[in-house]
């Protein structure tokens, strides 16, 4: 799988808005904390299953960020 290697800032910002830790986000979504950290940091490409679970937990979040390339 291709790795982004750049933080997915909308995820970081959204988590900050919710005042949640990475562990809390992971628990709500239903993934491991390490998997969530890797995705948020850009070191792992989110799987379809992750995106599906994320949308179920946070239906108002704009999922388009998972389908855009992160360029500087």
Cα gap 20→16, rounded to integer Å = 6
Residue 72 in domain: no
Q: What's the total number of domains in the chain?
A: 1
For the stretch 15-48, pLDDT in tens is: 999 999 999 999 999 999 999 999 999 899 999 9
Q: CATH number of the domain at 33, please.
A: 1.10.260
Buried b (16+ CB within 10 A) or exposed e, 28-58: bbebeeeebebbbbbebebeeebeebbeeeb
Residue 71: per-residue pLDDT: 44
Q: Which residues of 8-66 form beta strands (DSSP E)?
A: none
Among residues 68, 39, 70, which one has the least CA distance to residue 53?
39
Please tell me whether the overall predicted TM-score, pTM, comes out greater than 0.85 for this model. Answer: no
Structural domain range at position 52: 9-62
């Amino acid at each position: 799988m291709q790795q982004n290697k750049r933080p997915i800032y909308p995820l970081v910002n959204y988590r900050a808005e919710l005042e949640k830790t990475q562990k809390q986000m992971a628990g709500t979504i239903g993934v491991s904390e390490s998997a969530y950290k890797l995705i948020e940091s850009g070191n792992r490409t989110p799987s379809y299953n992750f995106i599906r679970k994320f949308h179920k937990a946070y239906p108002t979040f704009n999922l388009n960020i998972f389908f855009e390339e992160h360029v500087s």
